């Protein structure tokens, strides 16, 4: 599979006792790792012994550090040079309340010619690939329909295209008919409402119905299938041309960190699809594996860190409760 993750970053994870707004705090420990949603997906794929090619824009400031960290992980990177620094994501993990707070920088602006070089790199790497995953935010200056362009390139190459990105970029990609979009509920609702989603808060009311409405609406706007995730509650799965939306339950675990769970979900879906292609796509089976992979990732501190054996155990538990899955009509029906 080929993973388009243009807005690569460095994750700077700070471990604190507690965040006190307005105070001066000291971190007990700091870790710096390569970051970006596509990087997390590739970690999961490698954990299962699979192969994934990462294609990313790499700012020339801090280039050696980012490329070195990816090489240490064993990542297969197709690098496209870009001016400016590598963006930073600040991840603050509090010991006492067990909260995780994340501040994502936007990244350095890219000129049209830089984006075109990136799109050309995707085109060069698509032959022979059966999946393209478009993952993560777009850097400032990228075309609004940047991922839509890549979806169309994937289809020309005979590959499926999966998209998980910020609300504005997700909305712009829908017209190109991605084979699956996989936002969380807040991202889906922001995309459909045309809002930025710059600050995404948790939702806790009418979850299955709201997720069903969002999944159905995403398909009506052009997605061939939509999986709207709602943390530990479940996933609403909709398909274009069908009014039925399936609510798939997850199973409870002791959560260490939910950072990167959505990326692990999409990695699990992609790994399932690779076992099915060529042939008809069984989206439900793929989503079940995605749910198990995301759940396993929540038991680990590092984003994209999963134990394949644990995934299989959780998948068996989720499949055992599959009889409890139900169709959801949604509030708009």
How deeply is 327 buried, as exposed, middle or buried, from its count of CB atoms within 10 A (0-12, 13-18, 19+)? exposed
Q: What is the pLDDT of residues 99-111, one digit of tens each?
A: 889 999 999 999 9
CATH number of 2-19+29-327: 3.40.1190.20
What local confidence, expressed as pLDDT, does residue 333 receive? 40
What local confidence, expressed as pLDDT, does residue 154 receive? 98
Residue 65 structure tokens: 């550090």
Mean pLDDT of 131-158: 97
Q: What is the pLDDT of residues 202-249, one digit of tens each?
A: 556 688 999 999 999 999 999 999 999 998 899 999 999 998 999 999
Residue 326 pLDDT greater than 70, yes or no: no
pTM listed for this prediction: 0.92
- Cα 288 to Cα 248: distance, rounded to the nearest angstrom: 8
CA neighbor of 261 nearest in space, from 310, 313, 200, 303: 303
How deeply is 64 buried, as exposed, middle or buried, from its count of CB atoms within 10 A (0-12, 13-18, 19+)? exposed
Residue 21 pLDDT greater than 60, yes or no: yes
Mean pLDDT of 301-307: 85
- Cα 39 to Cα 263: distance, rounded to the nearest angstrom: 9
Peptide bond into 278 cis (omega under 30): yes
What local confidence, expressed as pLDDT, does residue 200 receive? 47
Q: What is the pLDDT of residues 24-56, one digit of tens each?
A: 999 999 999 999 999 999 999 999 999 999 999
The region, left, alpha or beta by phi > 0 then psi within -120 to 50, assigned to residue 168 is alpha
């Amino acid at each position: 599979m080929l993973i388009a993750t243009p807005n690569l970053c460095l994750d700077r994870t700070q471990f604190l006792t507690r965040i006190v707004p307005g105070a001066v705090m000291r971190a007990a420990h700091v870790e710096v790792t390569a970051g970006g949603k596509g990087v997390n997906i590739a970690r999961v794929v490698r954990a299962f012994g699979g192969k994934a090619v990462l294609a990313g824009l790499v700012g020339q400031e801090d280039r050696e550090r980012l490329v070195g960290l990816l090489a240490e992980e064993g990542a297969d990177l197709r690098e496209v040079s870009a001016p400016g620094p590598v963006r930073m994501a600040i991840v603050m993990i509090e010991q006492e309340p067990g909260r995780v707070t994340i501040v994502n920088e936007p990244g350095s602006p890219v000129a049209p010619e830089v984006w075109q070089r990136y799109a050309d790199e995707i085109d060069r790497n698509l032959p022979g690939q059966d999946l393209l995953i478009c993952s993560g935010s777009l850097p400032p200056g990228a075309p609004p329909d940047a991922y839509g362009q890549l979806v169309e390139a994937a289809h020309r190459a005979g590959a499926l295209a999966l998209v998980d990105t910020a609300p504005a970029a997700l909305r712009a990609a829908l017209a190109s008919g991605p084979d699956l979009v996989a936002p969380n509920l807040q991202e889906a609702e922001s995309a459909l409402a045309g809002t930025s989603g710059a600050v995404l808060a948790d939702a806790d009311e009418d979850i299955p119905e709201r997720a069903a409405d969002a999944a159905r609406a995403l398909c009506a706007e052009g997605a061939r299938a939509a999986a709207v995730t709602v943390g530990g509650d479940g996933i609403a799965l909709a398909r274009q041309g069908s009014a039925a939306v399936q609510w798939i339950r997850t199973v409870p675990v002791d959560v260490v960190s939910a950072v990167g769970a959505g990326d692990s979900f999409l990695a699990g879906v992609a790994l399932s699809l690779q076992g099915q292609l060529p042939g008809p796509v069984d989206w439900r089976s793929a989503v079940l594996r995605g749910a198990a992979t995301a759940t396993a990732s929540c038991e680990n501190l590092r984003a994209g860190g999963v134990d394949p054996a644990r995934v299989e155990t959780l998948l068996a538990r989720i499949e055992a409760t599959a009889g409890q899955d139900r169709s959801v009509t949604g509030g708009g029906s």
